[in-house]
Structure 1
Amino acid sequence: MTGEGVRKARSAEPAAPGSAVWLREGLLELASALYPGLRSVVVREWSDAVRLRGPEPVGERSLVLVAVGGGDRPVFLAMDEVVDAFAADGWTVSRWEDGSGEERVAAGREDFEVRVHAGRGPGLVTFTGWTPVVFTGRSLRQPRFTLSTVGGGVLCADCHGWGACLDCEGTGRSRRAGGWGRCWCIAGNAGPGSCVECGGKGCVTAEGTSQRDERHGVSDVDGSGGADAFHRPPIEEGHGSHLDAFLDVAHRSCACGEFRCLWRNALVEAGDHLVSRFFGTCQGCAARRAYAFALPFQRLPGPPDPPGPPEPPPCPHCAGVPVPLVGGLHLPGSAMMRALEAGSVAACDSGCQVSPDDPNWRCPSCGHAWRDADARRRDRILRAILADVPTS
């Protein structure tokens, strides 16, 4: 999934379906390479219409959902390789974990975006990718959200995800006054040109979904947190794997008719069977949806031992083992100060003012300092060094 591939897809096939084909094939190839021997399937493909003031769409974005998981054997799917694969190809990547076993990755390059999610428990990773919006008429800037890409809420019904006042199109100047008068949105708290209803965000918090559910819902997914039907739906039969259950859920619609839902998932042991659980908030009406499926029992494997840090790059002068160079202010007694005193790291010559071109490694044997382009490797080694520093 190279940048050149993106440019060719957009120049050779500017329509949304062409870029969607490229994105689908790229995600399938990536999933298969990251997790050989596991099933990689396209769960669903669809499109989001983009509107301004009128009911007729002014553009469209294509989306694809790919899932990878074990067919008859649940496995833990580490996310480090996912992050590395995107970062090595030039994507901007961010990663976070909510403390309850879920991991998420967001990657973007040009106007393409991918959201990766690994649920609680082993066995399922999903890749949701979307193309840039292709407009049918005049060229417009990309909206902040479309219906499928909103996270933690629902699309603003007033600005349709743009985050801008659609009366003045974000300019703050009234169209009714020939473009010179003050638009009514200037009186709103969001500021001139911003949508008053959503405060310029493009989305609003899902009604009926409390802050606790949004932040801690996954910790109650096994039903231990109470009798809330959102976390304890009836258990259904008829599926042989976590992935098969997801293929079913992803094609079910909410009572409002909307199928779009940012599904979260968990695979847990429950008595003499496994339970595959899915839950999320409908992106159309904000209803809370949940499903549970009984799977054939098999003992879930324990989490694998975390991989050790990578080897540092050899010194290009003497092939010695270098130490990371660090800059900035460090409090006395901190892990960084103790690492400096122990010689596990070394201070940059530039002190606190570290520029992007400064060396980031130094060889203790010959004193040579140089910059290695693999910043992620250095960061992992540095974190491992600080984690092993004695507390006293």
Structure 2
Amino acid sequence: MVSLLLRRSLLLPPAIRTSIYQSSLHHLRRHASTVTTHGIPTAASEIASAPAINPFAESLMTVPSLLLDTLHATGLPWYAVLPLTALIVRGGLVYNFSTLPARRRAVLRRNLSPIVGAQMRRVLIQRRIQKKPVFRPLLYFQMMIAMSRDFKIPLFNFRSVLNFGVLIAMTETVRMKCGGREGVLSLITKPLTWLFSKEYSTVAAGSEPMKMASSPEEIFAERLFDAREAKAQAAGLSSSDIPIEAVHLDKLTTNPYAAYIEPSMRTEGLSFIPDLTLPDPTFTLPCLLTLTMAAGILLRRQPPLTTPEVPTPDAKKQPLTNGQRLGLSVSLLFGLGATQFPAAVLLYLVPNMTIAWLQGRWLDIKYPIPGTVEPCRKPVRVKVRKDFEMPTQV
């Protein structure tokens, strides 16, 4: 096969052979030692075909893409489909399968705090007797895991990452429909792709001998002659009747998700951003996203670990905690980065964050996390009523 391609490349005009050689020098220096096994693409084979789609990322984006296409097929524009999708996914799926069960488990774990505290005190006494070092936060975490396992209230399960996984899958699907390249989901699933490709290469190496990769000029010559033969067959002529200079090759697709791009995203936007595939030039959506994240941090206070005393006027003005300061800094940085996001992604993120904050407020009212059960701070005073019996007369 290689010798045939070399003979074909010799039939090319000198100008074409020179241009091929000059354009491939840099590529040959970078990939001089690149080899490939049967069925596994290499750097040289990527020139002859479009970049491969990450199979794991594509499988995870199948259901979100189907949901978006179904809602858009009803006649709704994209600026209405994206918030509606956030309402369905975050308000229905994630709430019932992840958020609500997590809150119920948190309430049950808070009720186990006295048992964890008693077990921790017993272990601390044993460690002091044995003169062993103790790291209290780690010990408390170990006790909590043990109690949660005994009472079947796990700290982590597959539902714990459902919220984050669904958010990444939905935003990556919207980005894919906007014509973006590989994003966070592809980076996360790339180790799995590498692992499976490594296993496949081991099997292929044991079954078939390794084959040297074709050079760029050989690939170009093969594509050029195949295009000339196809053009000759369409015209009813022989390939020798058509000069090689009259053959034009189609440009290879550089975007692996080109088949999933939605052209209607460019026209079904809002009044201030009609093209949803571009960043928001008015910075309205990034500011809304930052304000939504900041409101979720400031307006939702964490439940106290202990039962609070009677609040005083000064105690009502609670200062910002370190966690809240860190969250505000992250929201500001995320808002700055969101200025480069497609407007369609922000149209999904802003309603998603808003629904998440509303769900948190609803759960604080419906399923509040109680304070830790503690001994009474003041001694209990019990009134004793003494009854005196009158002596009986004889």
TM-score by length of 1: 0.21
* Higher Cα radius of gyration: 2
Structure 2 length as normaliser, TM-score? 0.21
User: Structure 1 or 2: larger helix share?
Assistant: 2
Higher strand share: 1
